[in-house]
């Protein structure tokens, strides 16, 4: 019941936003829908923890621990981003009359994001992920400047190029499933159960295709080139959702697939995942050293973290899976905070360039302290949650005896840490240049920043037991030993 | 034995006799499609007859090449006609004398001498046309080779008669992707070698734009008649290869009975006239390509032929 | 090498497969925007024909409906949508801007077709179903050639058609290997494809209105240099 409601509410909200009499209230409708979905998803997570089997439509819409976790993350980020969007969009847009289109789009985007983890038929998951991409494209190009349109077009082309490739991969998977005697409808669970007897060549081929196709959407290198452009040009609340959860959902799909592969004799694939994950982290770390725009900086950090999650899942041990899943969670909440802060900075300072910002602390203490907080958090400093999850991945790797991988990963994380902190340092301290016209950020934006900062600070020191159990359950879905 | 030799002779006579008719039919159809009346379909015969009764005028610069070429151009298609299935689908006496590659080389020999003769006279238009012809020819060579190679590979033989047996064996073989792609590649090739639109305009009189017509430009009297007739025979021979081997290998005489061979004649005529309609449609609906675009056209033919080869060689696509 | 037990529908399916490959090459070889759209429509019709033929030979209503959906969505609806969304001048372009010239593009497409045969040929040959043996390599070739045309072209509409052509290729392989897919999934995919067309069309229109042409190759502001916020 809760599951169906979670999926249907944003769709309903989108519909309402587009009807003429409700257009003025589009923001309120969005707020209402996201803040209703959020408690529902928490209820769902609790139900999963208590061992109930969640079934929306049997065989089609079901939820297990991993999908419940992703749903909860999506709804949390969506809710806070909606709060942030209120003030931000009003400040940035000169033509308020077509804001309803933004909110309508936003609701459809959230709808698709919620749909993907809830579906169990892989081909429908493909459809949902495509819908995610489509609505995201519309949102990225919202501001209609040539920069935004270029970013949106590059995004569209790169990710949609992956669509038929992953579709073919799913077809091949279906073929392997049916040849091994699978029954209809095809669900993730059933495929996992049949995995040991499926043809390994077909499995490998389909995984390769799906990885290429979805990897572009998840921001994995070398298909990540759309990420920095999209994030620097899209409105900040959109960036928060993009980086926080929209890259996570295709990665979730890849991880589901990975769990199937690991259950089959083709388990060597895990090593390839480690290598590819490390490649993403490496590219992101080196690009972070020479970035000029702080939103792009956060975007590269997303690429880095997606790579870390992939590496963690590739290590394929229980402990590293736990690390990967908690990294997913921590990244979602931290990265969305980063983009709220970036949005506040943009509103306050009206520039995206790093080198033209100095002495942020003195210009706007609120923005300055928020920036310092989120930079430390995203770079992986203690006592913030990302440090915890990265550490658990590294220690799991050591325990599994993968010393080279761990060494490379640790050094790359260190490089990225240094790069981020160096850029942020440049912005924070020093004499402020006097030509800033400082506008104080709107109330909703501040609310959102504070609201997002709370879990970041909290989860670094204390993870409540139910959350920990949920993470453990979700990690078990990833199929490591 | 005597019978098969006489059938061979009949094939040659068929080609000799009907080549000008085919050219006449083609030009008549084209004019009709363009809402004009057009010349009579027997006009090419009258032209050849007229030319035979005129004097030859030779330039002072010419050598033996110029004198030899008309005979070569006339005789070579006859040689090729001996090798290909025109009326019968079982191999005749001289069928094993040469295979498709030999046929290709013969036609290439004729083209080579025609180009040399055009240069031989020392006039400017001749070499211009000859160089263009060579350009089209050298671009078409790889396509020829690939087509022949694929066909031979699929049929496990290079003799046209045996290749033809293979295609009529089953509908599966006929509709195989390799076959269809080969058809299209060879059609493009015929358009190029025969000097039809979109490669060249056969009815144009503008010497600066001529490609294939230029080879007959410098000849007069008997030489011109032989060049004309030889060109028409070459086209008919190509059409016969195309139709009888690739497209519609039916309607040929099966057994050594004379009646069957006689019956094959109207059937073959029917096939080539249907093909004439297709040609006319193609010619009337396309525009002549610019010179440097011809390489793209033949490049597309090459790609199609190689695609045919790929789909037939790799085991996955065998039906 | 020939299997005399091949039925007529399967033979005709092989024919349509050959023509699908040819239309993929044609899409790379053509210079005009209208030509690209036209060849895409032809390819979609061939795909539908293959659906019908397979539906007939395997007695599957499912495939018949899929063929009908394909015709309705790809051959009719998408060109119509594109016509409505984009002003006519984007269609009139006679020379598509591209990064690599046409003969080289054709050669590369050929190499991609050969590559796809290498990749899935052994997989396909192991199957007893002759339809799979033809459709899978050609479907993958369609996907790869579509991806190539997407990369090499520098204009909005041909790039969009490239994406849709890749879908055609994926489907062409899919109807052979995954033909019992639940109809909902197929419908979802069809809707997804149309939405892709709508969204990319909208985006192209915005691009065209903002910078005056749909040559996406000229969009190159966002590199690693900083762009001052306007």
3-state helix/strand/coil string of C53-106: HHHHHHCCHHHHHHHHHHHHHHHHHHHHHHHHHCCHHHHCCCCCCECCCHHHHH
C196 interfaces chain B, CB cutoff of 8 Å:
no
Select from C131, C228, C166 the least CA-distant residue to A164.
Answer: C166
Q: Which pLDDT band, with edges at 50, 70 and 90, does C30 fall under? A: confident
Nearest to C203 among A131, A152, A167 (CB): A152
Q: B297: distance to nearest CA of chain C, Å? A: 9
Helix (H) or strand (E) holding A84: helix A65-92
Closest CA in chain A for residue C144: A165
Tokens of C177: 């290997």
Distance of alpha carbon C71 from alpha carbon C58, whole angstroms:
20
Pairing mode, if any, of strands A61-63 and A54-57?
antiparallel
Average pLDDT for runs of 10 along chain A of length 481 = 77 76 76 84 82 70 82 87 82 71 85 86 85 86 76 84 88 83 74 79 85 85 81 82 85 86 73 86 87 85 89 83 88 88 81 76 79 86 86 88 86 89 81 66 80 83 82 78 61
DSSP string, A280-305: HHHHHHHHHTT--BHHHHHHHHHHHH
Question: What is the greatest pairwise CA distance in chain C?
Answer: 70
C217 interfacial to chain A (CB closer than 8 Å): no
Classified as helix, coil or strand, A57 is: strand
Q: Which of C192, C197, C216, C225 to mutate to test the interface with A (most CBs of A within 10 A)?
A: C192
Write out the DSSP string of C13-36.
HHHHHHHHHHHHHHHHH--SHHHH
How many other C-beta atoms can be found within 10 angstroms of the C-beta atom of residue A284?
Answer: 28
C65 CB-near residues (< 8 Å, 6+ apart): C183
Is the Cβ pair B170, C17 closer than 8 Å? no
Work out the mean pLDDT of chain B and round it to a whole number.
Answer: 82
Q: Does C106 touch chain B (CB under 8 A)?
A: yes
Kindly report the backbone phi and psi dihedral angles of residue A187, in degrees, each rounded to the nearest multiple of 5, phi listed first: -125, 165
Whether the pLDDT of residue B173 is over 50: the answer is yes
pLDDT at residue number A267: 63
Residue indicated by tokens 């039916």: B250
| Amino acid B168: pLDDT | 66
Q: Which domain holds residue A203?
A: 2-476
Q: Could you report how far apart the first and last alpha carbons of chain C are, in Å?
A: 67
Element (H, E) at B264: helix B258-285
Is B168 exposed, middle or buried, given 0-12, 13-18 or 19+ CB atoms closer than 10 A? Answer: middle
Higher pLDDT: C204 or A337? It is: A337
- List, for residues B52-72, the tens digit of each pLDDT value: 999 888 888 788 888 899 999
Asked whether residue B198 carries a pLDDT value surpassing 50, the answer given is yes
For residue A463, give the DSSP letter.
-
Which residues of chain B lie closer than 8 angstroms to C138, CB-CB? 177, 311, 317
Give SS3 for B99: coil
Give the C-alpha separation, A392 to C86, whole Å.
52
Terminal Cα distance for chain A, rounded: 33
Domain for residue A381, yes or no? yes
The tokens for A250 are 């295709």
- Min distance B171 CA to chain C CA atoms (Å): 6
- Classify C97 in phi/psi space as left (phi over 0), alpha (psi -120 to 50) or beta: beta
Report the C-alpha gap between B246 and A196 in whole angstroms.
49
A14 CA: distance to closest CA in chain C (Å): 16
Per the model's pLDDT, the better-predicted residue between B88 and A163 turns out to be: A163
Cα angle: A122, vertex A127, A128; to 5 degrees: 90
Chain C residues lying within 8 Å of A346, measured CB to CB: 229
* Residue A401 DSSP class: T
Between CA C51 and CA B19 the distance in angstroms is 44
* Chain C from 126 to 155: CB within 8 A of any A CB: 139-140, 143, 146-147, 150
Which residues of C are less than 8 Å from A60 in CB distance? 184
What is the Cβ-side half-sphere exposure of residue A290, based on CA atoms within 13 angstroms? 6
Q: Which of C2, C11, C114 sits opposite B310 (nearest CB)?
A: C114
CA separation (Å) from B146 to A419, B140, B153, C110? 57, 10, 10, 14
Instruction: Give tens-digit pLDDT for C137-189.
Output: 889 999 999 999 888 888 888 888 888 999 889 888 888 887 677 777 777 77
Give the residue-averaged pLDDT of C187-202.
78
At residue A119, the 3 state secondary structure works out as strand
Given an 8 Å threshold on Cβ–Cβ distance, is C203 in contact with A156? yes
CB nearest to C3's CB, from B172, B299, B308: B172
Confidence of residue C42 (pLDDT cuts 50, 70, 90): very high
pLDDT given at position A95:
66
- The closest alpha carbon to A344, from A418, A452, A477, A192, belongs to A452
Which of A456, A470, A66 has its CA nearest to residue A249? Answer: A66
How far apart CA B245 and CA B260 sit, in angstroms, is: 18
In order, the DSSP letters of A135-195 are HHHHHHGGG--HHHHHHHHHHHHHHHHHHHHHHHHHHHHHHHHHHTTPPSSP-HHHHHHHG
CA distances from B290 to B128, B211, B293, B300 (A): 16, 12, 5, 15
Strongest mean pLDDT among A93-107, B197-211, C128-142? C128-142
Closest alpha carbon within chain C to A203: C123
Instruction: Give partners of A (≥3 CB pairs < 8 A).
Output: C
Q: Distance, in angstroms, between C130 CA and closest chain B CA? A: 6
pLDDT for the residue numbered B190: 87
- Matching residue, tokens 């490739």: A165
Burial of C195 (C-beta count, 10 Å sphere; 0-12/13-18/19+)? middle
Q: Is A291 helix (H, G, I), strand (E, B) or coil?
A: coil
Cβ–Cβ under 8 Å, residues C62 and C55: yes
Question: Strand, helix or coil at C154?
Answer: coil
What six digits make up the tokens of B102?
Answer: 């030999």
- Cα distance between residue B27 and residue A150, in whole Å: 54
In whole angstroms, give the CA distance from residue B136 to residue B126.
15
Who contacts A116 (Cβ-Cβ below 8 Å, separation ≥6)? Answer: A125, A128, A129, A132, A249, A252, A253
> Exposure of C56 by Cβ count < 10 A (0-12 exposed, 13-18 middle, 19+ buried)?
middle
Give the pLDDT score at C59: 79
- DSSP secondary-structure letter at C119? H
Owner of token pair 């949102």: A139
Where do we find the tokens 């879908």? C167
CA-nearest residue of chain A to C169?
Answer: A164
pLDDT value of position B265: 84
C81 chain-A contacts, CB cut-off 8 A: none
Which residue from B minimizes the CA distance to C29? B300
Per the structure, how many domains does chain A have?
1
Encoded tokens for C14: 């092989």
Q: At what angle do helices A385-399 and A294-315 cross, to 10 degrees?
A: 30
Q: What is the average per-residue pLDDT within B295-308?
A: 84
* Chain B contact set for C22 (CB, 8 A): 180-181, 184, 304, 307
To the nearest whole percent, how much of chain B has pLDDT over 70? 93
Chain A residue numbers with beta carbons less than 8 Å from the beta carbon of C191 are 127
Reduced to 3 states, what is the DSSP secondary structure of residue B290? coil
**Residue numbers in C near B308 (CB within 8 A):** 18
**Cβ proximity of C222 and A229 under 8 Å:** yes
Backbone angles phi, psi at A351, to 5 degrees: -145, 155
Q: Is residue A481 part of a domain?
A: no
Burial of B29-51, coded b for 16+ CB within 10 Å and e otherwise, reads: bbeeeeeeeeeebeebbebbeeb
Between chains, do B177 and C117 touch, taking CB under 8 Å as contact?
no
Residue B4 pLDDT greater than 60, yes or no: yes
pLDDT at A222: 77
Cα separation of C44 and C23, whole Å? Answer: 10
Question: Is the pLDDT reported for residue B315 higher than 60?
Answer: no
pLDDT surpasses 70 at C1: no
CB-closest option in C170, C177, C195 to A164: C170
Burial A448-458 (b: 16+ CB within 10 A, else e): bbebbbebbee
Q: Look at residue B50 in the predicted model and tell me its pLDDT.
A: 92
Helix, strand, coil shares of chain A as percentages rounded to 5?
A: 80, 0, 20
CB pairs under 8 A between A and C: 157
pLDDT of the residue at B49: 92
Minimal CA separation from C228 to chain A, in Å: 7
The per-residue pLDDT for C229 is: 35
> Residues B51, B110: contact at Cβ < 8 Å?
no
């Amino acid at each position: 019941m809760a599951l169906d409601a979670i999926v249907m509410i944003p769709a309903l909200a989108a519909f309402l936003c587009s009807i003429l009499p409700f257009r003025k209230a589009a923001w309120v409708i969005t707020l209402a829908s996201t803040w209703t979905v959020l408690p529902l998803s928490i209820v769902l997570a609790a139900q999963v923890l208590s061992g109930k089997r969640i079934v929306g439509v049997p065989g089609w819409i079901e939820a297990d621990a991993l999908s419940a976790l992703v749903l909860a993350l999506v709804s949390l980020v969506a809710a806070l981003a909606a709060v942030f969007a209120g003030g931000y969009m009003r400040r940035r847009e000169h033509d308020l009359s077509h804001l309803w289109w933004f909110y309508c789009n936003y609701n459809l985007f959230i709808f698709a994001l919620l749909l993907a983890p809830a579906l169990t038929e892989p081909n429908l998951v493909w459809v949902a992920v495509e819908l995610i991409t489509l609505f995201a494209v519309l949102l990225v190009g919202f501001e209609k400047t040539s920069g935004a349109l270029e970013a949106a077009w590059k995004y569209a082309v790169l990710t949609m190029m992956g669509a038929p490739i992953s579709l073919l991969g799913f077809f091949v998977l279906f073929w392997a499933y049916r040849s091994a005697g699978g029954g209809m409808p095809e669900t993730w669970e059933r495929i996992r159960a049949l995995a040991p007897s499926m043809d390994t060549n077909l499995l490998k081929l389909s995984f390769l295709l799906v990885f290429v196709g979805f990897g572009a959407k998840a921001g994995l290198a070398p298909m990540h080139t759309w990420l920095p452009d999209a994030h620097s040009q899209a409105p900040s609340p959109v960036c928060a959702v993009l980086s926080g959860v929209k890259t996570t959902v295709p990665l979730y799909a890849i991880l589901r697939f990975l769990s199937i592969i690991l259950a089959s004799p083709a388990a060597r694939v895990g090593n390839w995942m480690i290598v590819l994950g490390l490649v993403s982290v490496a590219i992101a770390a080196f690009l972070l050293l020479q970035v000029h725009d702080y939103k792009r900086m956060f975007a590269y950090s997303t690429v880095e973290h997606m790579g870390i999650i992939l590496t963690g899942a590739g290590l394929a041990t229980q402990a590293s899976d736990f690390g990967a899943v908690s990294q997913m969670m921590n990244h979602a909440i931290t990265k969305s905070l980063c983009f709220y802060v970036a949005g506040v900075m943009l509103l306050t300072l009206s520039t995206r360039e790093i080198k033209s910002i100095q002495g942020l602390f003195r210009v706007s203490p609120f923005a300055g302290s928020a920036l310092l907080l989120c930079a430390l958090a995203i770079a992986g400093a203690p006592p913030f949650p990302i440090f915890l999850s990265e550490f658990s991945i590294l220690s799991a790797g050591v325990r599994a005896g993968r010393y080279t991988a761990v060494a490379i990963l640790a050094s790359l994380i260190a490089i990225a840490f240094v790069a981020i902190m160096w850029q942020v340092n440049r912005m924070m301290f020093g004499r402020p240049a006097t030509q800033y016209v400082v506008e104080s950020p709107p109330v909703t934006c501040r609310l959102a920043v504070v609201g997002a900062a709370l879990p970041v600070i909290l989860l670094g020191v204390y993870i409540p037991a139910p959350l920990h159990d949920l993470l453990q359950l979700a990690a078990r879905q990833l199929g490591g030993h | 034995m005597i019978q098969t030799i006489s059938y061979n002779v009949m094939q040659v006579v068929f080609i000799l006799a009907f080549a000008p008719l085919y050219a006449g039919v083609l030009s008549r159809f084209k004019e009709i499609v363009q809402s004009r009346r057009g010349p009579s379909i027997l006009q090419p015969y009258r032209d050849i007859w007229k030319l035979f009764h005129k004097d030859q005028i030779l330039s002072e610069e010419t050598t033996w090449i110029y004198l030899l070429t008309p005979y070569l151009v006339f005789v070579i298609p006859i040689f090729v006609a001996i090798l290909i299935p025109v009326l019968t689908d079982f191999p005749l006496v001289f069928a094993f004398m040469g295979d498709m590659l030999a046929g290709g080389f013969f036609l290439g020999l004729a083209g080579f001498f025609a180009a040399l003769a055009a240069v031989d006279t020392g006039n400017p238009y001749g070499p211009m046309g000859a160089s263009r012809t060579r350009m089209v020819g050298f671009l078409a060579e790889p396509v020829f080779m690939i087509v022949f190679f694929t066909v031979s590979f699929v049929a496990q033989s290079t003799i046209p008669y045996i290749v033809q047996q293979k295609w009529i064996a089953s509908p599966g073989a006929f509709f195989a992707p390799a076959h269809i792609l080969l058809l299209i590649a060879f059609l493009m090739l015929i358009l190029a070698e025969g000097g039809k639109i979109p490669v060249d305009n056969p009815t144009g009189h503008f010497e600066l734009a001529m490609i294939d017509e230029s080879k007959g430009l410098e000849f007069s009297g008997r030489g011109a008649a032989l060049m004309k007739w030889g060109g028409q025979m070459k086209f008919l021979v190509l059409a016969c290869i195309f139709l009888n081997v690739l497209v519609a290998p039916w309607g040929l005489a099966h057994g050594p009975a004379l009646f069957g061979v006689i019956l094959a004649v109207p059937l073959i005529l029917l096939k080539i006239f249907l093909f004439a309609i297709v040609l006319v449609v193609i010619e009337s609906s396309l525009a002549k390509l610019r010179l440097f675009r011809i390489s793209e056209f033949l490049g597309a033919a090459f790609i199609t032929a190689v695609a045919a080869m790929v789909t037939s060689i790799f085991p996955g696509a065998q039906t | 090498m020939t299997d005399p037990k091949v039925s007529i529908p399967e033979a005709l399916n092989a024919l349509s497969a050959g023509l699908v490959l040819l239309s993929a090459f044609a899409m790379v070889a053509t210079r005009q925007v209208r030509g690209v759209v036209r060849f895409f429509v032809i390819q979609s019709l061939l795909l539908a024909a293959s659906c019908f033929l397979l539906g007939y030979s395997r007695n599957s209503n499912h495939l018949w409906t899929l063929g009908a959906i394909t015709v309705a969505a790809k051959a009719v609806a998408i060109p119509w949508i594109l016509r409505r969304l984009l002003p006519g001048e984007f269609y009139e372009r006679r020379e598509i801007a591209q990064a690599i010239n046409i003969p080289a593009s054709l050669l590369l497409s050929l190499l991609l077709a050969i590559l796809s045969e290498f990749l899935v040929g052994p997989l396909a040959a192991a199957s007893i179903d002759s339809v799979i043996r033809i459709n899978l390599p050609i479907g993958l070739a369609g996907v790869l050639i579509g991806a190539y045309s997407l990369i090499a072209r520098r204009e909005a509409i041909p790039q969009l058609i490239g994406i849709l052509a890749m879908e055609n290729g994926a489907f062409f392989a899919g109807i052979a290997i995954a033909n019992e897919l639940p109809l909902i999934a197929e419908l979802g995919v069809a809707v997804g494809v149309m939405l892709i067309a709508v969204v990319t069309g909208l985006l192209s229109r915005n691009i065209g209105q903002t910078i005056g042409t749909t040559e996406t190759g000229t969009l190159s502001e966002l590199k690693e240099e900083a762009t001052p916020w306007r």
